[in-house]
């Protein structure tokens, strides 16, 4: 016979303290659950008041879950909900006795007189359920964090994903009477009318595109899709330069494909108009050193924020985006590109389901932050198998991995460069050398159409077709192409402490050197 353990008064007190501290009951409200179920069976319209608040699993007691499931089934079938029909439904489901039998159903209805306060009571039940879910979630994550065989980054991703799911379940937005919405819409219209360019959204810097979209609108999810080598990254970098460098509006760019240094190098190529191969090799002519030193100053202090986290999850993006908007007032977010993102921490049957979750989450984030989110997307290979200029033009069905991208996006644009496919004529006698088409294939709140831009491959830049003009270059035979961007005065204040980019003794001293292209 084992020795019986004896407790001293001090030991008993300690045990009582542990019991008080850790001996918690699961959050529950069984009496309120009964009141709500009873009210649902005596008031024919009561279900409509709680249908968006409660689910069967919201109830703590198993028998109450079964009763509510029967009520939901009757409501969906547009059948009456009362004591008799609920009992019959439970019987047909084969769970009447498990749900407490007819006696328990009678007890539920006899305990209430009306459905007054049913919404308030339903919210209490929902909150108790959410508290239980959080407890289970925290316990599960704690166990995995203690297990040293688990990768802590995977545990973090799982925690973030599950917490996101719980937050989504608890996020409900109530209806709004139309008057305040009319006032908000009228104020937006008044602000748009006051703008000289007549845009209601954020200007992309591409005039023809802005005419169709009226600028990128707040809360919109915009998808820019194209096949590889069409210039997706160059397009968003050109927009980021127009917005952050020229207009000085804060921009955030999440690059899952390129490092921040690679992106900045491409931005230098874009702004300084020096070919990318020369930037890589450092073999610049004297006038190019001077051009670099002069124009790169436009990039300093630009409100452009770059995040090059690889394998970024949509939940990490959500956290970082909120901070960027809160701390830096970011007006637009670029993502390069959507298919490289993941939604780790949640389970999916296939990749299509995961991409659907990502696109849906991005649309939700755009609405939450009230800014446009522009995400790049790949197209499938179907484009390559079609013949001719028209055949090579992308279609909505070419979007890769998920039809949900098309469904969730407010605007879907395709980039098409006929020149890439050795098509130099559009069939109407127009030269397509150096021309890119931006095809607006879906526009939820406006017109669709095509916009032609000039693509400068040597500078990885898209620009308006009228941005180039010809001027004679002093000392150089033949014309020189010069961008309107070059004529923008370079700010002189605030750069006294910027070190020179190079110490090249051959860099010319003139500030007005034209660049031959």
| Active-site amino acid positions | 257
Q: What residues does 256 pair with on adjacent strands?
A: none
Q: How many CB atoms lie within 10 A of CB 72?
A: 18
Are residues 202 and 216 in contact, defined by beta-carbon separation less than 8 angstroms? yes
Q: Nearest 5°: CA angle at 332, between 457 and 309?
A: 75
Residue 502 main-chain phi, psi, to 5 deg:
-150, 165
Q: Token digits for 200?
A: 């209601």
Among 405, 433, 393, CA closest to 227 = 393
Q: CA 262, 266, 271 angle in degrees (round to 5)?
A: 145
Q: Tokens 């207009």: give the residue.
A: 247
Token pair 């004679």 is found at 472
**DSSP calls for 313-339:** BHHHHHHHHHHHHHHH---EEEEE-GG
* Residues 6 or more apart in contact with residue 100 via CB below 8 angstroms: 63, 67, 107
Sign of the alpha-carbon dihedral angle for 420, 425, 426, 432: positive
Determine the longest span between alpha carbons in the chain, in angstroms.
110
CB 468 within 8 A of CB 482: yes
Contact between 372 and 217 (Cβ < 8 Å): yes
């Amino acid at each position: 016979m084992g020795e019986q353990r004896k407790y001293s008064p001090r030991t008993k007190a300690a045990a009582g303290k542990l019991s008080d501290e850790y001996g918690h009951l699961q959050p529950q409200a069984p009496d309120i659950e009964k009141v709500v179920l009873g009210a649902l069976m005596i008031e024919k319209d009561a279900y409509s008041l709680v249908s968006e608040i409660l689910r069967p699993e919201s109830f703590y007691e198993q028998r109450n879950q079964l009763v509510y499931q029967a009520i939901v089934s009757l409501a969906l079938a547009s059948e009456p909900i009362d004591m008799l029909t609920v009992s019959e439904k439970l019987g047909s489901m084969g769970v009447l006795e498990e749900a407490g039998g007819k006696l328990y159903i009678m007890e539920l209805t006899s305990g209430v007189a009306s459905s007054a306060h049913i919404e308030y009571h339903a919210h209490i039940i929902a909150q108790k359920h959410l508290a239980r879910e959080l407890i289970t979630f925290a316990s599960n994550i704690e166990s995995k964090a203690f297990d040293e065989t688990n990768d802590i980054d995977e545990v973090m991703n799982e925690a973030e994903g599950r917490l996101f799911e719980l937050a989504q379940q608890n996020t409900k937005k109530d209806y709004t009477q139309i008057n305040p919405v009319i006032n908000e819409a009228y104020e937006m219209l008044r602000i748009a009318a006051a703008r000289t360019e007549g845009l209601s959204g954020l200007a992309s810097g591409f005039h023809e595109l802005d005419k169709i979209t009226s600028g990128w609108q707040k809360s919109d999810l915009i998808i820019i899709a194209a096949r590889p080598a069409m210039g997706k990254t160059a397009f968003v970098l050109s927009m980021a330069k127009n917005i952050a460098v020229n207009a000085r509006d804060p921009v955030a760019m999440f690059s899952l494909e390129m490092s921040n240094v690679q992106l900045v190098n491409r931005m230098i190529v874009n702004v300084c108009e020096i070919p990318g191969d020369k930037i890589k090799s450092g073999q610049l002519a004297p006038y190019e050193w001077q051009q670099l030193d002069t124009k790169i100053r436009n990039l300093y202090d630009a409100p452009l924020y770059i995040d090059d986290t690889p394998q970024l999850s949509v939940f990490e993006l959500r956290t970082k985006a909120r901070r960027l908007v809160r701390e830096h007032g970011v007006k637009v977010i670029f993502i390069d590109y959507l298919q490289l993102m993941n939604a780790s921490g949640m389970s999916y049957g296939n990749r299509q389901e995961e991409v659907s979750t990502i696109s849906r989450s991005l649309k939700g984030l755009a609405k939450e932050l009230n800014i446009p989110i522009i995400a790049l997307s790949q197209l499938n290979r179907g484009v390559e198998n079609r013949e001719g200029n028209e055949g090579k033009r992308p279609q909505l069905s070419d979007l890769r991995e998920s039809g949900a991208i098309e469904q969730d996006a407010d605007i879907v644009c395709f980039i098409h460069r006929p020149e890439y496919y050795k098509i130099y004529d559009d069939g109407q006698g127009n030269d397509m050398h150096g021309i890119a088409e931006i095809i607006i294939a879906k526009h939820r709140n406006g017109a669709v159409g095509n916009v032609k831009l000039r693509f400068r491959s040597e500078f990885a830049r898209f620009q308006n077709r009228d941005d180039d003009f010809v001027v004679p270059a002093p000392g150089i035979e033949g014309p020189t192409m010069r961008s309107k961007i070059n004529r923008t005065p370079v700010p002189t204040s605030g750069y006294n402490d910027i070190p020179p980019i190079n110490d090249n003794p051959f860099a010319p001293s003139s500030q007005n050197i034209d660049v031959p292209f």
